Chain A
Amino acid sequence: MQQKDVLPMKSEDSDKREAATPEIITGAEAVIRSLIAEDVDTIFGYPGGAIMPIYDALYDFQNKVHHILVRHEQGATHAAQGYTRAGGKTGVVFATSGPGATNLVTGLADAYMDSTPMVCITGQVAAVLLGTDAFQETDVIGITTPITKWNIQVTRPEDIPGAIAKAFYVAKSGRPGPVLVDITKNAQVGKLDFQYKACDYIRSYKPVPVLNMESVEKAADVINSAKKPYILAGHGILISGAEKLLVELSDKAQIPVASTLLGLSAMSTSHPNYVGMLGMHGNYGPNINTNEADVIIAIGMRFDDRVTGEVNSYARQAQIIHIEIDKAEINKIINADVAVHADAKEALTALLPLIKKAEHAEWLETFRAADREEEEKVTRKELYPTEGQLKMAEVVRFISEQTNGEAILVTDVGQHQMIASRYYRFKNPNTNITSGGMGTMGFSLPAAMGAKVGAPDKTVVAVIGDGCFQMTLQELGTIYQTQIGVKIVILNNNFLGMVRQWQQLFFDKRYSSTEMINPDFVQIAKGFYVPGRKVTERSEIAGAVKEMLDTPGAYLLEVVVEQEDNVFPMVPAGAPLTSIRLE
């Protein structure tokens, strides 16, 4: 049997964050004190019967832990995701048993797909009632097993600190992900001898693989002999903090860099070697040149079907180097010629010195040529229209210009998401927050709220469709109560735009259940004491964006945009990348 894997070792600083002397306290207090030991100062949550002892304990720690009362538990999960992705700290969510716990499901699944660390703590009925269909009892462990990185039910108070320590370690380490700790009511009210010990080791878990230098050397050889090398930058770059190394690699060997949806902001969009976004609605050059490159260097990405199109025709000509921390992603969709099973930062650190300086001017020029074609056929009309109704892209252009590309852009799901992702000019890392893998409508309002809490000094702009907004708009209540200064832009086309676009292109314009008869969004915002404005004219948009950004605190800007606008380019679902359509 293969023996090359090194067993995980205990690190020397595993005793840090350890309470000095044990004390007898309740399980509920142990929850809060464990969180404080993990440096948690913010919790997004919603109380209920089975988690009441924990909320009661929280009452005594209000000076240390800020609890943000959301309006729906799903909102708490997305807020925690936004908080983590903007500020870097693991988001924490509280919810009660039964419906409180089931309302976490969408956010957990979203965080799992998009590798976002999150610790959810749910109350549960007393251990003696487990399995009896007690009031608000649900098998949250069973329900969340496939959508969490790890979960555990705690039925004894003395297991609480250990479970929370393990939860944080699992959530943050390796490929991050959400975890759930379900704590029965008896464990919350029971007593324990409290002593907190942070976890940095689980014997069956090796979060960071040992870098195999042979694979790095092989990757370097392949890159050094490449004529048309091409980097696909994924979320893993941001997670591992390898943004600078990515730029160094690209600069050194003059390699074009395209980004996945979640990799956006890893490289500044103004970098000369940055060529655009991959995927179904990505840029033209990045998509067609995937089938032209001789070497593809995929870093921290997982070849999602929205990126690959038809897999059998994907980059057949290219040698694939796949740098990826999650072994299960290697060879899952696209077979790697060189697999570097490693953390992106570690791999790039080892790789860079082996890379020879090179020029690929002609190759880079093919991206620019494709850009010019896209510019002519799509981009210019989108960004600088002179007649007709307002276009989503021009609104995004104004936001991008007026925030100098330095805001945190939080997008929802659909046409507006693709448009905003395509046209926002990202300058700094971790300024793009969106629901990628799951495509969760309703993500952005709560996520933007969390992002603002996680990065209070940044301008946070949520770009939301009219459909998405109505899925989680109750979080305006949280925004008001907590005074969270998010800027909300609703691009209102009175349609579920992306579905309508597909209906137009692939279902003979049979617009089945996609038209929205919408409420007055500005009035709704007013009801939550959030100021706002509705814009329908091109002449007003620049001023309206400025007003939004200049107004202290939260603001809602509704922009009525062209109803039947389509997002192009587009690779039809399941089609080869070469079948990309510009119009």
Chain B
Amino acid sequence: MQKEYTVTVYTEDRCGITNRITVIFTRRGINITSLTTAETEVPGVYKFIITVLSNRELLEKVVGQIERLIEIHRAFVHDEDEVVYQELALYKVSTKSLHNGDIEKIIRDNNARILTITPDYFVLEKTGHQQELIGMLQKLEPYGLIEYTKSGRVAIVKWSRRFHEHLKDLSLLEADNLKD
């Protein structure tokens, strides 16, 4: 059965690594619904967080094929219950709506914060799950929403043990110094 899964991949910092990973999904016709990547706490080691709609059996195979790539450290597949995750959204809203008293309630109810205010617009930030972010989007709609943008997923695995230590161990091993 198709469900939303989070795939996490630890990689070396190498030009083209995103392509290497994504072709393994596309070969099997799996659509990536979000992709977040950034350097981990260990310089030169990157973490990809990929969300997909698929099934576990298939994804275990995909993860195996990703893990066999030369510049991949590890890859994992997690279902919703195995990760704590957040996404971040920004909302640009017309400043005129500030005159309306309800906007304060929306900000308070959503634990949103104001990043900037100009005479024309202001920008709100909210973190949460997709549905919560969309919920606030719908609330803001009547107030002159100008633009909405949302990040991919940032996730932490509930069952991980000493992964930070493991990454630090990696940093003790020499990375090759080939540049792209």
A residues adjacent to B (C-beta < 8 A): 1, 3, 5, 7-8, 10, 141-142, 145-146, 149-150, 152-156, 159, 162-163, 166, 170, 199, 201-205, 326-328, 330-332
Contact = CB atoms under 8 A, between A and B. Distances in A.
B105 interface: no
Nearest to A326: B68
Contacts of A332: 61, 64
A327 B177 contact: no
Interface residues of B, number: 38
Contact of A204 (B11, B159, B161, B178): B11
B170 A203 contact: yes
A327 B65 CA distance: 8
Contact of A8 (B60, B65, B173): B173
Interface in B145-180: 157, 159-163, 166, 169-170, 173-180
A7 B169 contact: yes
B16 to A, nearest CB: 6
Contacts of A203: 12, 73, 170, 173-176
Contacts of A142: 16, 19
A156 B179 contact: yes
11 contacts: A1-B161, A146-B27, A159-B179, A199-B176, A201-B174, A202-B70, A203-B170, A203-B174, A203-B176, A204-B71, A332-B61
Given A155-B179, A162-B176, A166-B178, 10 more contacts: A1-B160, A3-B161, A7-B170, A10-B174, A150-B69, A163-B178, A202-B176, A203-B170, A328-B65, A328-B67
Residue from B60, B159, B180 having most chain A Cβ neighbours under 10 A: B180
Contact of B68 (A202, A327, A331): A327
B20 interface: yes
A204 B177 contact: no
A415 to B, nearest CB: 30
A218 to B, nearest CB: 21
B176 A166 contact: yes
Interface string B9-27: 0011001100110010001
Contacts, number: 83
Contact of B180 (A145, A153, A162): A153
A201 B174 CA distance: 9
Nearest to B76: A1
Nearest to A156: B179
B72 interface: yes
A327 B20 CA distance: 18
B171 to A, nearest CB: 10
B110 to A, nearest CB: 33
Contact of A162 (B70, B173, B177): B177
Given A166-B176, A327-B68, A332-B64, A146 B23 contact: yes
B162 A204 contact: no
Nearest to A10: B174
A7 B64 contact: no
Contacts of B72: 204
Nearest to B26: A146
Contacts of A8: 173
Contacts of A10: 174
Interface string B66-96: 0111111110100000000000000000000
Given A159-B178, A331-B60, A145 B16 contact: yes
A145 B159 contact: no
Contacts of B178: 152, 154, 159, 162-163, 166
A349 to B, nearest CB: 24
A155 B16 CA distance: 15
Contacts of A170: 70
Contacts of A152: 178, 180
Contacts of B74: 1, 5
B70 A1 contact: no
B16 A141 contact: yes
A204 B12 contact: yes
A141 B170 CA distance: 27
Residue from B11, B19, B173 having most chain A Cβ neighbours under 10 A: B173
A22 B70 CA distance: 29
B99 to A, nearest CB: 50
A10 B76 CA distance: 26
A293 to B, nearest CB: 25
Residue from B11, B61, B159 having most chain A Cβ neighbours under 10 A: B61
B176 A328 contact: no
Nearest to A332: B61
Residue from A149, A204, A328 having most chain B Cβ neighbours under 10 A: A204
B61 A1 contact: no
A145 B19 contact: yes
A176 to B, nearest CB: 13
A113 to B, nearest CB: 14
B45 to A, nearest CB: 9
A1 B23 CA distance: 26
A145 B23 CA distance: 9
Given A152-B180, A153-B180, A331-B60, A205 B70 contact: yes
A326 B161 CA distance: 26
Contacts of A204: 11-12, 70-73
A8 B70 CA distance: 13
B126 to A, nearest CB: 30
A331 B70 CA distance: 21
Contacts of A155: 179-180
